[in-house]
Amino acid sequence: MPFSQLFVSKDRKIDFELTILIQDLTNVPLVSGLYYVKYRLKNTAHSSGMTVRAPIRDHCIFWGHPISTMAHLVISKQRILGTCELKLDVFQEIAGKDTTLIGSLTINLSEYAGLGLTSRRYLLDNCKFNSTIKLSIRVDQRSNPTIEYTTPPVKKQQIFTDIPTMITERTERSADTMSLSNSQLNTTDTLNVSHIKKSQSAVSLPRYCRQVSPFGDLDDPSPTDLVEQLFRQKSIDSQHVSPGS
């Protein structure tokens, strides 16, 4: 426990279980070398570590590296949840000697408390390229269930939305708008509108982009499978633990 928390009352201390999956790095305009991520966590039981060194393929690097630890946070007098900082540094290694920093990322995990499983892609800071790293994050409260607090807002400028996600969101919004318009028409007009076909490109592009993942033809499980396995296993383990243990 940090020294600054020793004199904080118990009703302002709260424990969270952190589960993080460092999935992959994309949009890397390089063709050689091995790549790895060093990470550091503040106010946690497990504070640092690194992924394996992985090769680049089709300008992408895949790690699928899980992190699981406990965070001990403090609620401010204004009832705002304290910072739980995660710092990532991505490196390129060539010939086992030369190491270059590709970029870094710093996020506040407290922003994700109570949101459930969140998977997002983030733009790296201090990066010469528009490389993005994908993380899956879950922050679950494990103490003082009745305590009230406010989480800091998620910093939207760090989040990168790819084309398939944007198209899917626009398609869903268009469908909602069409449904609202249809409800205001008479029965005959509603039947006519319901037969209008959606654009084939808008429907098929997200599906196509998912199918051509650079890791799709490998023997290793896909990033989506790893996320599901990781968080499903944690859910099963928690169910087997008796309340008194």
- Residue 9: the pLDDT is 76
Tokens 């302002």 correspond to 12
- Higher-confidence position of 87 and 223: 87
What mean pLDDT do residues 218-243 have? 55
- Look at residue 151 and tell me whether its pLDDT is greater than 90: yes
List phi, psi (to 5°) of 167.
-65, -40
pLDDT at 156: 77
pLDDT in tens, 15-61: 999 999 999 999 999 999 999 999 999 999 989 999 999 999 999 99
- Residue 214 pLDDT: 43
SS3 percent helix, strand, coil of the chain, rounded to 5, is 30, 35, 35
Residue 42 has a pLDDT of 94
Q: What is the pLDDT of residue 183?
A: 44
C-alpha–C-alpha distance, residues 233 and 214, integer Å: 26
Mean pLDDT computed over 119-140: 95
Neighbours of 61 (CB within 10 A): 28
| 69-95 pLDDT per residue, tens | 999 999 998 999 999 999 999 999 998
Domain positions in the chain: 10-162
| Mean pLDDT of the 163-168 span | 51
Determine the Cα–Cα distance for residues 109 and 107; give it in Å rounded to an integer.
6
Of residues 242 and 141, which shows the higher confidence score? 141
| Fold annotation for 10-162 | Immunoglobulin-like (2.60.40)
Which of 24-33, 46-55, 191-200, 233-242 has the least mean pLDDT? 191-200
Res. 154 pLDDT band, cuts 50 70 90 = confident
In our burial notation (b when 16+ CB lie closer than 10 A, e otherwise), range 105-140 reads bebbbbbbbeeebeebbbbbeebeeebbbbbbbbbe
The predicted structure's pLDDT at residue 128: 92
Angle, alpha carbons 35-84-109 (nearest 5°): 65
Asked if pLDDT for residue 132 goes beyond 80, the answer is: yes
